[in-house]
Structure 1
Amino acid sequence: MCSVVGSNPPPVVTWYQNGGSKMPLTAKVVERENLTRSILTLNVSRSDHGRELRCNARNPQLPDAVEAAIKLDVSYAPEVELSLGRSLDPKNLREGVDVFFVCSVNANPPPYKVTWYHEDTALSQDKEGGVLVSETTLVLQQVSRAAAGSYTCRASNVEGDTSSTPVHVSIRYAPMCAVAPSLRGVGLKETVNISCRVDADPPDVTFYWTFNNSVRREQTEILKPHRYTSKKLESVFAYSPESDRDYGTLLCYAANSVGKQEVPCSFTVISA
């Protein structure tokens, strides 16, 4: 509402917005004795926040005019956008790197709370665990494969709560054994299928088998690939002891683009 005192004849009141352009809307004018009021009704959105409105009043018979200005203060629920640090590729993160997220919030009034989530679990400050939380950033130090999954940030103000679109993170890691060490009893000339399974990301792995003789353990034999078959994350060795020297420990390793398996899968073969 713009109130104008005085002027005879009554003033002409015009509304202007940013840049000086005339408002396309028609205002309601109420005239009483020496007072003229122009009432402008607007349907505002968040994009109108900070917009300047000017009320211009002039006597139609005089050259000069007077003005008053006001800036709109529009309250709205948060707009939230979550992004990964610029130098990071969400599909190509490895164990041991630091990962950080930025939560960008547009809200009026400003948010009184920003909450971070991994999947459906809220995250809190844990310096010893390598989780550093602030309103605008989340830092995960030396991540493990357990850090993989979807992350969101949620901002709250008096107008409402808004969650970001999830950002999915994949953590790549070297193979690790997916089977427990085992003991197999096999007779001479008998054949036993020994299955070695690993967990890895990416899952494109190459397998290696070695054998430690039970008599001379210091000697490790690297077994030739034609003696075992491998598919995806599993390798199967058809093992047949020909003599007592063939009893001992079979070790299975796998490697992918991240690295080689540190602790092998172990299978001990003894005489049945």
Structure 2
Amino acid sequence: MFITFQLLEPPLNISINPENQNGQIAVVEGSNIALECSVNDGKPSVTLYWTTGENIVYQRNKTEKIKYTLTASRQFHKRYFTCIANNTFYQIKRTTQIHLYLKPLVKIYAIPKLIEEGRKLVLVCENQTNVKPTDVTWFYDDSILLGLSTFQVTFPNVSRNKAGKYTCRVTNIAGIGTKDFHLIVNYKPYVTDGIQEYVFDAELYEPTYISISILSSPRPDVAWSQTAHGKLGSWNCQLKDNESYIISSNIVPEINSHVGEYGIVVRNYLGSLNIIVKLESSTVKITPLFAHCNMSSHLHLECQISESKLVQQLHANWIHEINGTTLRILSGQQSGNTSVLTIKYCDYREMGDYVCKWKSVTREYSNTARVTVFGHPIIAIKEVVPNNETSIQLVVQFLSVPNPTEVRWFLDDSIISKTDTRFKREIHASLIQQEIHSKKVILPGFKTYLVAALHFRNTGLTFSCQIRNMFGTRYVSFEGDLFKDVHETFEDNEHHNEEGLDVLDAMNNSPIQHHTSNEEVNSSESRNSDGNYEEIENEIYHDAEWRNSETESSSSEATQHNDYENTDICNDYEDLDETKVEVHSYEI
């Protein structure tokens, strides 16, 4: 019998590299560190470990050398790492500390925190680092501020034009640290164009719409301060962008003495602004005041100012806007006291208000025309959304001026009738977001949807929606898996089918009405035939206001209007009797 003995030997001479004479590994923050530990092996062979705290971060068996690489982030500053050599019978270890040369950690704050125009302001830049010296550079809106090399910037009398982005950049041998500070200076309200007296054209018993641009920080309150005793509307203060607001209201003069001077006070906690509004009779006239054009036709708007005002060297501009959102600033052809704006090709993008402004250095005169464009329906949104656990909604949102006469849904080439219990259909008036001239505006439109069971997703069938008005028809298709492929086509309104949603009768009772002149409608009136329309269950039309217009049969101007604004009132309409379908025409 033989007995084998193994001689046990401890590991010796454990060392860490790179390590300085202070027992530290010193590197710049953000660099890579290779922690290398070596040992003279023992018997049996050792296992090498790297640990920090109670955690083993790396290990290798039967080796005399181990390397662990990490990125020297700020969390490792002054962190201890230990290398352990263990062969079960003997264990030795060596500990080292990570020391980082820290990049500047920058912070900016303002004294005082609430920054008001006309007050002293100090911007302070602080930094945390263990490496000196440091250099500081200031930037304003990404441009260097020359001559500023201290950690404080002082404004003895800060003004609103000092608002913007300030950047403090601190540099040392370890690297660069930066921090941005967005300076907002509060100030009392003021008008953007420097004018404090505005003149508006007025007619008795008609609302005169007041709209003025102001700048203010914070948001101001607006109130009437002086009156000539006309009927006064409430004030609306709408944020346009940043610190720019549109304040708007209206005045209705009922007797000649009401056509006079009115006062407005615009106030925030820092101060107030007084504005004078003068109503003058027939200073600016626009012809036509309420204009209509069919798609692809042209339109001329003529703006004339009283010749007595021309001594002020006035210049005319046209502002195209919807709901106070400026879409374009246009130049008409000006001759003397008349400016003519020509719309060469009408489509839905030309709809809205056209403000004719005659302006001098100190005064401004204006009047507003409204343009309604009649054309085929415009698809705004088409989507498939969940309805519940067992069904989905196929949704189409669209604009239609004039109102739609018919909406119907198809499964492949078959019309989905009201008796088909597999589906539910509905249409109602709705606010629609539409992009016009690169600006998103909210307009009154319509929403129709079809509720279908989930199992229709994978059948390969195509669902489509047809929307018709007196100018044409739009088709929207939902096809393929999950109805993801959406296509749209357009055709002229040549035929009527018999299984559509009869929206024409219901919309005659809806407040969204668009009247046309005889001249404009005649070109399309022959298309509005009296086909049979299927009744629809539970049709709901939500109230939405529109500036309706009515004129004499020989005139293309209108005499009354409402705002573009939807209300919260809802009207319910009963099913329509197929035997009582009428032929409807749009006329003034």
Pick the TM interval, shorter chain.
Answer: 0.5 to 0.7
CA contact (8 A) 2:26 2:101 kept: no
1:41 CA displacement: 6.4
CA shift in 2, pair 1:27/1:161, >3 Å: closer
Quote the Cα distance in structure 2 between the aligned partners of 1:81 and 1:134. 15
Deviations 1:64-111 (A, max 9, x none): xxxxxxxxxx994641423325x521xx22111111122234363413
Change (3 A) 1:239 1:209: farther
CA distance in 2: counterparts of 1:178 and 1:241, whole angstroms: 31
**Do residues 160 (structure 1) and 165 (structure 2) align?**
no
Deviation at residue 136 of structure 1 after TM alignment: 1.6
Q: Note the residue ranges of structure 1 that are not aligned, 5 or more in a row.
A: 1-24, 29-37, 49-73, 126-132, 212-220
In structure 2, how many angstroms separate the alpha carbons of the residues matched to 1:152 and 1:191?
50
* 2:205 maps to 1:203: no
What is the CA–CA distance in structure 2 between the aligned matches of 1:203 and 1:79, rounded to whole Å?
38
In the superposition, relative to structure 1, how do residues 186 and 235 fare at CA in structure 2: closer, same or farther (>3 Å)? Answer: closer
**Residue 234 of structure 2 corresponds to which residue in structure 1?**
229
Matched, 1:95 2:107: no
Which residue among 241, 250, 255 is the counterpart of 2:267?
Answer: 255
Residue in 2 aligned with 1:8? none
For residue 270 of structure 1, the aligned residue among 273, 276, 280 is 280
Query: Is this contact kept in 1: 2:207–2:250, CA < 8 A?
Result: no
Instruction: Measure the CA separation in 1 of the matches of 2:259 and 2:146.
Output: 52
TM-score normalised by L of structure 1: 0.56
Q: How does 1:100-249 map to 2 (within 5 A)?
A: 100-105=122-127, 106=129, 108-111=131-134, 113-125=135-147, 133-163=148-178, 165-178=179-192, 181-211=197-227, 227-233=232-238, 234-240=247-253, 242-243=255-256, 245-249=257-261
Instruction: Measure how far apart 1:177 and its partner are.
Output: 2.1
Report deviation, 1:241: 5.2
Task: Describe the shift of the 1:82–1:40 C-alpha distance in structure 2 as closer, same or farther (beyond 3 A).
Answer: closer
Which residue in 2 is equivalent to 1:42? 24
- Offset of 1:116 from its aligned partner? 0.8
Q: 1: CA distance between counterparts of 2:250 and 2:233?
A: 4
Q: 1:81 aligns with which of 96, 103, 106?
A: 106
Asked if the contact 1:114/1:156 (under 8 Å) is kept, the reply is yes
Flag structure 2 segments of 5+ consecutive residues without an equivalent.
1-13, 29-76, 79-98, 239-246, 283-588
Aligned residues: 188
Using CA pairs below 8 Å that are at least 6 residues apart, which structure has the higher relative contact order? 1
- Are the counterparts in 2 of residues 75 and 109 from structure 1 also a CA contact under 8 Å? no
Whole-Å separation in 1 of the counterparts to 2:198 and 2:172: 57
- 2:201·2:208 contact (CA, 8 Å) conserved in 1? no
Change (3 A) 1:43 1:237: same
How far, CA to CA, are the matches of 2:214 and 2:226 in structure 1? 16
Q: 1:84–1:102: 8 Å Cα contact kept in structure 2? A: yes
Does the CA-based 8 Å contact 2:104-2:171 persist in structure 1?
Answer: no
AA partner of residue 275 (structure 2): C
How far residue 236 of structure 1 moved from its aligned partner, in angstroms, is 0.5
Asked if the contact 2:253/2:259 (under 8 Å) is kept, the reply is no
Change in 2 beyond 3 A, CA 1:194/1:27: closer
For residues 100 and 145 of structure 2, the distance between their equivalents in structure 1, rounded to whole angstroms, comes to 28
Query: Structure 1 CA distance, aligned partners of 2:172 and 2:16?
Result: 32
RMSD, matched Cα: 3.4
Aligned to 1:69: none
Q: 1:40 to 1:94 in 2, by over 3 A?
A: closer
TM-score with structure 2 length normalisation?
A: 0.28
State whether residues 80 and 154 of structure 1, in contact with CA within 8 Å, keep that contact through their aligned partners in structure 2. Answer: no
Cα pair 1:27 1:40 within 8 Å, conserved: no
